[in-house]
């Protein structure tokens, strides 16, 4: 992969990772079944979900960029659907509540009414259908973004143009290059998943949440952070 | 059957089994130390006048904390295993014994972390007249350390199995970090709901979420005597622990399982994963319908 293309891939991947956090339903007070969403902070959940995608993408890294990105996306989607399904199981049989959303009266997909099933004094519980769809979309985005960063860094480290001019990069074995790329992708998750926390403030219901209007703020902050990371890696690999 | 396929099948089964047990233990460890989101309730309790005897080591999020334990244990294990191989011990024995060494060191680190975290937490409750009870620290501490040892050991072994038998190209410490953070977020998102919404609030009515106005009003009495943090995993492991284990085990197992087939070339695993996601989504919608039909609307809210 051409180093400049790889750098652009890192930037785009980082921004997509930031966007994914807005789609994944998560809420800290969900742990008390007091609001809709997976019962943990959006940032850490998105990181965990993206890293599961990264694990899946690792298997496909030598097969090319498209398969790596799609593998990562579906690995993340598998993690989020398992988590959502089994969180709903806990809410159903451990707490005795039905999945209810706080931000809409009727589910846009199933058309089921929400308010009658919401326990008094709470904002909803677990993940109803539309919220779950939002989670899957978020996981697909997050996994794809993280895998794009991973594949781009790997592409940059194994690029013939870079290997020809830099003996230090040429000395890196493919296995080490994969691990370096994986660590950078994991770092991008830890950075770009935390930035949206400032607009989400610990709780989001995914695409149906009014906080989606604050997406441009996330976009700007993640773009700035990703440009820094992209340029830094380019300088580290190609220039130095 | 080809040897490669057989190795992969053994790897998938072993990875799934290790992931399952790691899920149970990790959830119990976080419940024993109030390490995830329900810790907010444990912290609120002294503020509304409840004197508690819970062990509270929540000074970091569960996923990064767990990722740190796993990655550190695996790094130590990898280094020690090279030394063991140099000493003439067989490769598989070297990895297993080195994993035990790594997990034992992390167990001690987690103990120090837990002691200082609890002391500082309880110290910060001084304005609310919350005493520091030594029994609330010293009784759950060895238990929590033991669970941390098992979690670190199992995640280290899982990293070696997925790297060695399944052929994941990442270095084992990175795999351990990935599994640690993923498992932490899964346990925090699934199993801990039973701790936060049910175990801490058993004197509240079953079948409802905890209203914001009731938050902090947690249980102070246990099955006998005061409620402490050793009682918590005893209760939560039965549903919360097993469901967490099922989530993490299912992810690792299904992800490996989709790689056993080759009918569509390199895209096989992707196609199978998409089908699995679709099937699990259908289960999710069915479960929503089942709970709505079974429980019905809350009294007085039928017409909302």
SS3 sequence, chain A?
CCHHHHHHHHHHHHHHHHHHHHHCCEEHHHHHCCEECECCCHHHHHHHHHHHHHHHHHHHHHHCHHHHHHHHHHHHHHHHHHHHHHHHHHHHHHHCCCCECCCCCECCCCCCECHHHCCCCCEEEECCHHHHHHHHHHHHHHHHHHHHHHHHHHHHHCCHHHHHHCHHHHCCCHHHHHHHHHHHHHHHHHHHCCCCHHHHCCEECHHHCHHHHHHHHHHHHHHHHHHHHHHHHHHHHHHC
| Host domain of residue B267 | 263-297
Inter-residue contact B31 to B238 (CB < 8 Å): no
Same domain, yes or no, for B279 and B253? no
- Bridge partner list, B252: none
**A136 contacts on B by Cβ (under 8 Å):** 277, 281
Q: Using 50, 70 and 90 to split pLDDT, how confident is the model at B7? A: confident
Residue B224 confidence (pLDDT): 83
Is position B18 within any domain?
yes
Is position B67 within any domain?
yes
Same domain, yes or no, for B230 and B284? no
Is position B303 within any domain?
no
Residue A240 confidence (pLDDT): 77
Name the least confident of A77-91, A154-168, B153-167: A154-168
pTM equals 0.95
Q: Is the pLDDT of residue B1 over 60?
A: no
- Bridge partner list, A26: A38, A204
- Bridge partner list, A203: A27
pLDDT of B145-156, one tens digit each?
999 999 999 999
Same domain, yes or no, for B30 and B55? yes
Can you tell me whether residue B221 is helix, strand or coil? strand
**B209 contacts on A by Cβ (under 8 Å):** 32-35, 95, 97, 119, 121-122, 125
Residue B240 touches chain A, beta carbons under 8 Å = yes
Residue B2 confidence (pLDDT): 66
User: Nearest Cβ partner of B211 from A87, A120, A178?
Assistant: A120
User: Nearest Cβ partner of B181 from A48, A82, A90?
Assistant: A48
Average pLDDT along chain B:
92
Is position B274 within any domain?
yes
Q: Which residue has the tokens 């099937």?
A: B279
Residue B110 confidence (pLDDT): 94
Q: Is the pLDDT of residue A186 over 90?
A: yes
Residue A122 touches chain B, beta carbons under 8 Å = yes
- To the nearest whole Å, the CA of A232 is away from the closest chain B CA by 22
Between chains, do A41 and B37 touch, taking CB under 8 Å as contact? yes
Is position B52 within any domain?
yes
**Residue A203, C-beta contacts closer than 8 angstroms, at least 6 positions apart:** A26, A27, A28, A29, A35, A37, A42
Most distant pair of Cα atoms in chain A: their distance: 67
Average pLDDT along chain A:
91
Same domain, yes or no, for B278 and B215? no
- To the nearest whole Å, the CA of B197 is away from the closest chain A CA by 4
Same domain, yes or no, for B148 and B293? no
Same domain, yes or no, for B293 and B159? no
Same domain, yes or no, for B49 and B147? yes
Between chains, do B186 and A63 touch, taking CB under 8 Å as contact? no
Q: Which of B30, B158, B174, B189 to mutate to test the interface with A (most CBs of A within 10 A)?
A: B189
What does R_g of chain B's alpha carbons equal in angstroms? 22
Between chains, do A75 and B37 touch, taking CB under 8 Å as contact? no
Same domain, yes or no, for B290 and B219? no
Q: CA–CA distance from A110 to each of A209, B289, B293 (Å)?
A: 18, 10, 14
**A120 contacts on B by Cβ (under 8 Å):** 208, 211, 298, 301
pLDDT of B30-86, one tens digit each?
999 888 888 889 999 999 999 999 999 888 888 999 999 999 999 999 999 999 999
Same domain, yes or no, for B51 and B155? yes
| Domains: count for chain B | 2
User: Nearest Cβ partner of B198 from A44, A94, A136?
Assistant: A94
What is the Cα–Cα distance from A150 to A168, expressed in whole angstroms? 20
User: Nearest Cβ partner of B185 from A30, A47, A118?
Assistant: A47
């Amino acid at each position: 992969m051409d180093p400049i293309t790889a750098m652009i891939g890192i930037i785009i991947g980082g921004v997509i990772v930031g966007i994914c956090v807005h789609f994944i339903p998560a809420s800290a007070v969900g742990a008390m079944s007091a609001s809709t969403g997976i019962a943990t902070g959006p940032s850490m959940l998105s990181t965990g979900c993206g890293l599961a995608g990264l694990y899946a993408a690792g298997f496909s890294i030598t097969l090319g960029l498209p398969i790596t990105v799609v593998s990562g996306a579906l690995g993340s989607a598998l993690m989020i659907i398992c988590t959502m399904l089994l969180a709903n199981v806990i809410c159903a049989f451990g707490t005795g509540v039905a999945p209810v959303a706080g931000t809409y009266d009727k589910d846009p997909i199933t058309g089921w009414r929400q308010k009658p099933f919401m326990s008094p004094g709470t904002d909803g519980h677990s993940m109803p259908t539309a919220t779950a769809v939002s989670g899957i979309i978020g996981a697909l985005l997050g996994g794809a973004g993280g895998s794009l960063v991973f594949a781009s860094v790997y592409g940059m480290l194994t690029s013939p143009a870079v290997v020809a001019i830099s003996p230090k990069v040429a000395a890196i074995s493919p296995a080490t290059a994969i691990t370096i790329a994986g660590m950078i992708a994991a770092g991008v998750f830890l950075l770009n998943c935390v930035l949206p926390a400032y607009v989400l403030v610990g709780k989001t219901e995914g695409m149906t949440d009014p906080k989606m209007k604050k997406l441009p703020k996330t976009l700007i902050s993640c773009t700035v952070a990703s440009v820094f990371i992209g340029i830094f890696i380019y300088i580290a690999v190609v220039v130095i | 059957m080809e040897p490669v396929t057989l190795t992969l099948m053994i790897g998938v089964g072993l990875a799934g089994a290790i992931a399952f047990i790691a899920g149970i233990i990790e959830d119990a460890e976080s419940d024993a130390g109030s390490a995830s989101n329900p810790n907010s309730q444990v912290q609120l309790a002294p503020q509304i006048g409840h004197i508690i005897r819970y062990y509270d080591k929540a000074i970091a999020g569960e996923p990064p904390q767990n990722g740190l334990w796993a990655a550190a244990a695996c790094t130590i294990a990898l280094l020690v295993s090279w030394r063991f191989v140099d000493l003439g011990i067989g490769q598989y024995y070297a990895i297993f014994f080195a994993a035990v060494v790594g997990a034992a060191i992390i167990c001690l680190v987690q103990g120090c972390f837990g002691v200082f975290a609890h002391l500082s937490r309880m110290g910060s409750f001084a304005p609310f007249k919350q005493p520091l009870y030594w029994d609330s620290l010293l009784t759950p501490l060895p238990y929590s350390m033991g669970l941390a040892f098992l979690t670190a050991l199992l995640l280290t072994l899982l990293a070696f199995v997925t790297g060695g038998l399944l052929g994941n190209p990442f270095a084992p410490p990175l795999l351990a970090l990935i599994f640690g953070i993923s498992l932490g977020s899964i346990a925090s998102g699934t199993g801990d709901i039973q701790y936060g919404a049910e175990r801490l609030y058993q004197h509240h009515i079953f079948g409802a979420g905890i209203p914001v106005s009731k938050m902090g009003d947690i249980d102070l009495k246990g099955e006998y005597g005061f409620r402490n943090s050793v009682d918590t995993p005893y209760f939560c492991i039965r549903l919360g622990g097993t469901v967490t284990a099922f989530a993490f085990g299912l992810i690792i197992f299904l992800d490996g399982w989709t790689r056993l087939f080759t009918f569509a070339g390199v895209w096989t695993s992707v196609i199978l994963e998409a089908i699995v996601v679709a099937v699990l989504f259908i289960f999710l919608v069915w479960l929503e319908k089942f709970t709505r039909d079974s429980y019905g609307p809350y009294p007085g809210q039928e017409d909302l």
